[in-house]
Structure 1
Amino acid sequence: MHIVIPDDYQDVVKHLEAFERLADHEVSVYNDTATDIDTRVARFSEADVLVLIRERTPIDAELLARLPRLKLISQTGGGTAHIDVAACQRQGVKVMSGTGSPVSTAELTWALVLAATRNIPQEIENLKAGRWQRTLGTGLHGKTLGLFGYGKIGRLVAGYGQAFGMQVLVWGRETTRERARSDGIEAAVSQADFFTRSDVLSLHLRLNEETRGIVGPEDLARMPATSVLINPSRAGLLAPGALEQALRQGRPGRAAIDVFDHEPLRDDPLLALPNLVATPHLGYVERDNYELYFREAFDNVLAFAAEQG
């Protein structure tokens, strides 16, 4: 089979141990992003299988209609929000997904927390420019860590916060709050209470129609001027423009984010703000995680090939 892997930004897929699983197949890997449909069609038209890296490549009905040879989409990780699954079913394209680990994203979340509260990126640049100790950081011990969402990643981050001597506060659906309380963690009484009390507030929600824009300007305005917002999940959880406006107004005082509305990012006014730390969606971009993602995705391809005979 001819397998196409698009959007391998770092040019790492061929160097993974998992890649050896595809030794008996023809594989094409693209390292840049095709932003227009004609280029995608040109790259995918001879593909029997697409192996997608997370949500980097949207697959819609218009694109599928121009790929009559395609038989399988094997997704790294479990998310398929970027795939028109109904259109795939109509066209007879099978969609298979895997699982992922929460560890790498949780670790990146804590790196963002420390980077923002101790001004690490700014002080690195100061040091390189010959400027010594120009900022005053904020400690975490005794502060309140707010977690909007308490799934696998949120649970890990809660443990990191407790290890740093923080009080953990959770908000989310009733089932989320019950899960937190069963672990001995306090649940906020309301969303307003949650935003008001959190010194470090981290978002750990899936993006769907229910959660899109769930954090609005009024929520951010309730945060203390000394607080930090962390977003390692999805940019769409915040109402459009709300974070930029909030940071310019100083509530929260700082933010650290790993996600943007449009990726890969070309330009964003957020990046010009001095009270923002930003990384290019690195939450899942870690070797052990990649090996897990691609091993499962490639195993799905091999299982499909075996079924086809």
Structure 2
Amino acid sequence: MNRITVLDDYQGVVARLDSVRVLDGLAVELDVLTRRISDENELLRVLRDTDTLVLIRERTRISSRLIAALPRLRLIVQTGRLSDCIDLAACARHGVAVRDGSGNPIAPAELTWALILAASRRLVGYAGQLARGRWQRSTPELADEQLGRALCGRTLGIWGYGRIGRRVAAVGDAFGMRVVAHGREQSQQAAEADGVAYLADRRDFLAQVDVLSLHLRLCAETRHLIRRDDLAAMRPDALLVNTSRAELLAPRALLDALGDGRPGAAAIDVFECEPDGVGDYLDHPCILCTPHLGFVEQDTYEAYFREAFTHVRDFIRDAGGGSAI
């Protein structure tokens, strides 16, 4: 019997997905953990009988110590694209195979626009005050009230014009926004091919945008790329939206920049050291926070786990362990 463990299913939905049927007929036991285990010693105890580990994106880091201490572990599958949360060198040393899946730009692009619209029109504040009996108010105190604003005619900046950035830009164009792009050479080529203005100078780019949306891939070159002094170039009424990776910004760069008044607001879906890292951003009057929902929706989960469980099925069958239950 091959024991498959899925980590960090915060919402308890994986076992109910249609994609689980990919495993039908295999001699497997599926164990889905809904409680996050942050202590590595406890995680070692929980996973001691696991043959196959399925990760939901980068929610848990799989260290060399963890890999070395799990002698039954033979396969790790990461949903979506492979990231640096798995110690690949340790996997190679201990004979643990690693598989990943493909990304999907649709859900994160849609969430980006949900955040842009919600933050621009102050929807969360209005809804919260309405629930407390205050009509057409977004804050408890009148002295703190601000009007939301429309997007037509304003400038949308896309930093990282790839598959997701391109979708976000297309919606901005449909809203009547001026769209500008910034990033590396690939972004420039893609933007110019789409007729989108590319601004090579970082500070000039940041100074022009009313809404800045980050869509960079996290790597050594982009980690902590955006600093407090970069954000100081933004307008005091600008909105920064990050559905990509928290580590694109230097530590505390956004919080300090908001304290300086540039930009004026932020809407963020990603945090360092999730979920605990959200604490510094919660209840900030200028920040709208969501709990890393970029890929958390039905269609993406079905696609992610169909790929993941197909990798598991193929691995088991290739290893000669695919007999029917």
> Taking structure 2 as the reference length, what is the TM-score of the superposition?
0.93
Retained in 2: the 8 A contact 1:59–1:82?
A: yes
Q: Find the residue that maps to 1:285 and give its secondary structure.
A: coil
Equivalent in the alignment of 2:104: 101
For the pair 1:79 / 2:82, whether they are aligned, the reply is: yes
Distance 1:278 1:215 in 2: 19
Distance 2:176 2:208 in 1: 16
Superposed displacement of residue 226, structure 1: 1.0
Distance 1:89 1:248 in 2: 46
Equivalent in the alignment of 1:233: 244
Q: Give the alignment partner of residue 200 of structure 2, picking from 169, 189, 197.
A: 189
Distance 1:142 1:266 in 2: 35
Superposed displacement of residue 39, structure 1: 1.1
Q: Find the residue that maps to 1:64 and give its secondary structure.
A: helix
> Taking structure 1 as the reference length, what is the TM-score of the superposition?
0.98
Distance 1:64 1:139 in 2: 51
Distance 2:268 2:200 in 1: 26
Distance 1:62 1:226 in 2: 47
Retained in 1: the 8 A contact 2:236–2:264?
A: yes
Q: Find the residue that maps to 2:195 and give its secondary structure.
A: coil
Superposed displacement of residue 250, structure 1: 1.5
Deviations 1:106-139 (CA, angstroms, capped at 9, x unpaired): 0000000001100010111111112222341111
Equivalent in the alignment of 1:254: 265
Q: Find the residue that maps to 2:221 and give its secondary structure.
A: coil
Partner amino acid, structure 1, of 2:115: L
Deviations 1:36-75 (CA, angstroms, capped at 9, x unpaired): 1111111111111001111111111011110011000011
For the pair 1:114 / 2:125, whether they are aligned, the reply is: no
Equivalent in the alignment of 2:18: 17
Retained in 2: the 8 A contact 1:100–1:292?
A: no
Q: Which runs of 4+ in 1 moved over 3 A?
A: none
Give the root-mean-square deviation of aligned CA atoms: 1.1
Retained in 2: the 8 A contact 1:126–1:132?
A: yes
Retained in 2: the 8 A contact 1:145–1:200?
A: yes
Matches within 5 A, 1:1-309: 1-23=2-24, 24=26, 25-134=28-137, 135-265=146-276, 268-309=279-320
Deviations 1:173-227 (CA, angstroms, capped at 9, x unpaired): 1221121111100001301111100100000011111101111111111111111
Superposed displacement of residue 22, structure 1: 2.2
Equivalent in the alignment of 2:141: none
Partner amino acid, structure 1, of 2:11: Q
Superposed displacement of residue 296, structure 1: 0.2
Retained in 1: the 8 A contact 2:271–2:278?
A: no
Distance 1:29 1:162 in 2: 42
Equivalent in the alignment of 2:142: none
Partner amino acid, structure 1, of 2:15: K
5+ residue gaps, structure 2: 138-145, 321-325
Report the identity percentage.
Answer: 50
5+ residue gaps, structure 1: none
Q: Find the residue that maps to 1:272 and give its secondary structure.
A: coil
Retained in 1: the 8 A contact 2:91–2:98?
A: yes
How many residues are treated as equivalent by the alignment?
309
